A and B are shown apart, each in its own frame.
Chain A
Amino acid sequence: MSPLLEVHDLHVEIPLPHAHLYAVRGVSLTVDAGESIGVVGESGSGKSITLRALLGLLPRPAQVTKGSIILDGVDVTGLPERRRTKMLTDAMSMVFQDSLTALNPVMRVGDQIAEVPRRRLGMSKRAAHARAVELMDQVGIPEPERRFRAYPHQLSGGMRQRVCIAIALSAEPRLILADEPTTALDVTIQAQVLEVIDGLRRDHQLGVVLVSHDLAVISQTCSRIYVMYAGRVIESGSIRQLLSLARHPYTFALLRAVPDPDLPVHRLLTIPGQPPDLTAVPAGCSFAPRCALTEPACREVDPPLTAVPKEPDHASACIRLETASQWLDWAPVGVPDLVKKT
């Protein structure tokens, strides 16, 4: 069976007045029905642009220059734009980070949810109302009948994000793209919203693509991770594989840069420097200037994503991926040894 969504070698470029910004440089990913995948990376690594490119929501000058999107085994890339957009938006919906700006402030939240069933599924007003109430109930909004009449500003942040999820569900998609859905929420509320998304995945066999900069959030909700850096996927694999032994120095360092709430004071590994300027990407590995393990060969070729020997579905874009078990020497004293922990 072909996966629900397959993306092959996606390239997005943004023409700027004096330069050309290569925002996404060859991203491939697959999502199955009922599976949730995570995309992590720093700001500017191209994770949000990738999601937007899938839905045809790219900001003005940005355009997809290469790559294919395969939905249910059908390559939609070559189709006429209108037909393609319809197929993609029928299958996927998006949940945004900031629920207050995503919602219409002068429209009751219930009507915003009912709008989609009415316009796109052609439901009657009454049926759409009933559907909206049902959706609100599904995403865990207590007293949906009463909340139907509320305006966005009358709801708390967690409730508003649930409304956004309900809107995303209203078109009966098979895939939810969530772009930092909990970043603006408190931890206690974040846990609830993540649980709502995970429940929907289980109950409705939805595919979920969760974009976040928070590795812990991803590790709790997703089965596979794609780590992005400078517009490329530099490592992908299951959570277990990445946590037990990351095969790319960037992932390796990132995992040790996040403080662990269960460990007393420990030194955090830092990644010196900054991500490269995407208007002029240097030759060679894009992480090489910041990498503690750089060797001359790293500056010559940009290594492709290569399968890790003996580990199915685990791939890394590092020429030294086989030596990963020795990388710990690089970490300063006090950095916890994740290998032993997991």
Chain B
Amino acid sequence: MTVTVENPSRTRGTDEVLGVEGLVQHFVSRRSWADRLTRTPQHVVKAVDGVDLTLSTGETLGLVGESGCGKSTLSRCIMGLYRPSAGEIRYAGEAVRGLPSRAQRRTVQMVFQDPYSSLNPRMTVGQTLGELLRYHQIVPRDQVAARSRELMDLVGLPHDALRRTPRQFSGGQRQRIGIARALALQPRVLIADEPVSALDVSVQATIINLLTDLREELGLSMVFVSHNIAVVRQVSDRIAVMYRGRIVETGLTEQIFNDPRHPYTQLLLESVPRMLSGAETHPIGAADSLGTADQLAVVDGEPDADESPYSAHAIEGEHGCRYRPRCPVAMPVCADEPGLLPIAGNPSRAAACWHVDDDRKDKPR
């Protein structure tokens, strides 16, 4: 499993392995009789509000955004854990109607954030893997044990791990089991929802390296969901930035990092804490040179929970660009919400901002 970093196989294939078109996932609150009598309007949370995505074979897409922006809902929709309100999901070119069929479920598999709560605590690792291999008829019954051992080798665990239960493993090892469980079905797409957020930094690195190696080895495509931008940069070929249920910017990883166009992407990249030596220490994020706390409040764009019960979600009855209330460069035209606008001279990039092609003087860093 020694793969050098500059592997030419990172170049992307062109065939679509996963497609999402106009995906909408709204959650509607239940109305009580009292609500109906008082004509309280129904509350709709637009967790995912019109998302288009394509993933090619062998490509890794990083999905970033703040908590509540819909990253996890989107990945769960793609997995077929929710029935989407509208839009289409395609696995390897084949549309998923309603929830995916058993055969379709093999194509896309998920690695969850918390490896402990996503494994059955009363089953040994061998039982968990064996059940999957038999149910989906991945290998003939007499080869289930052999295949399970192969999976352990793949994720770097000893064979006797198969006889143990999840609680006997450390966090990093459990995440390896979670990865083995996802890989058991030989999926073409792996959806990793914050796979390293619950782990310590030293362990985090081993899981990131493992995912990188597996991707090369098995030719997997991956959707890597994380709020940790440095981690996303490590693993992704392409990045999609989500804000309040929509993708606001997409492009190749290096392009996004070197030249972020959407004001939200810019804020996100500037806010990432960086290792600095003591003398160079300066206030982080947008708060540059603003010393006092009450000045800081001005740049605070986080809406109150009481103003919107799901602070970062899109709320019903809102118009205009969804970033406008926090945006430092909002202008009258922002009352109309832009779709993803192409960036001139760069076919792989788009940003949902009217300022897309402006020359920016205040480039971050």
Contacts and interface: CB of A to CB of B under 8 A. Distances in A.
Contacts of A217: 273
Contact of B305 (A137, A155, A221): A155
Interface in B225-278: 227, 229-231, 233-234, 253-254, 257, 267-278
Contacts of B269: 261
Given A191-B287, A195-B287, A239-B277, A154 B294 contact: no
A65 interface: no
A268 to B, nearest CB: 4
Given A158-B302, A186-B66, A219-B276, A198 B234 contact: no
B304 A159 contact: yes
Interface stretch (A25-33, A138-146, A302-310): A138-146
Report, as a range, how many residues of chain A touch the other chain.
Answer: 35 or more
Contacts, number: 190
Which residue of B172, B205, B273, B285 has the most chain A CB atoms within 10 A of its CB atom?
A: B273
Interface stretch (B122-130, B196-204, B340-348): B196-204
A215 to B, nearest CB: 6
A312 interface: no
B297 A140 contact: yes
A196 B269 CA distance: 20
A198 B113 CA distance: 31
A194 B296 CA distance: 11
A259 B230 contact: yes
Interface in B304-355: 304-306, 311
B284 interface: yes
Contacts of A268: 205, 208-209, 234
A261 B277 contact: no
B217 to A, nearest CB: 16
Given A42-B202, A186-B67, A190-B271, A154 B305 contact: yes
B281 interface: yes
Interface string A186-200: 111111101110111
Nearest to A224: B278
B5 A265 contact: yes
A167 to B, nearest CB: 15
A7 interface: no
A261 B204 contact: no
A192 B273 contact: no
B205 A192 contact: no
B275 A270 contact: no
Interface stretch (A48-56, A68-76, A249-257, A315-323): A249-257
Most buried by B among A137, A194, A217, A259: A259
A290 to B, nearest CB: 9
A254 B284 contact: no
Contact of A255 (B275, B290, B306, B365): B275
Nearest to B287: A195
Contacts of B306: 150, 154-155
B209 A267 contact: yes
Given A156-B304, A219-B275, A243-B275, A257 B267 contact: no
A216 to B, nearest CB: 4
A266 B305 contact: no
A77 interface: no
A66 interface: no
B5 A267 contact: yes
Interface of B: 4-5, 66-67, 170, 172, 200-202, 204-206, 208-209, 227, 229-231, 233-234, 253-254, 257, 267-279, 281, 283-287, 290-294, 296-297, 299-306, 311, 365
Interface of A: 42-43, 137-142, 150, 153-159, 186-192, 194-196, 198-200, 202-203, 213-217, 219-221, 223, 238-240, 243-244, 253-255, 257-272, 274, 333-334, 342
4 residue pairs, one from A and one from B, having the closest CB atoms:
A191-B285, A154-B306, A268-B205, A261-B230
23 contacts: A138-B294, A140-B297, A140-B300, A159-B305, A188-B301, A190-B273, A191-B270, A191-B286, A192-B299, A216-B275, A239-B277, A239-B278, A243-B275, A258-B230, A260-B274, A261-B229, A262-B274, A264-B253, A267-B5, A269-B205, A274-B172, A333-B4, A342-B277
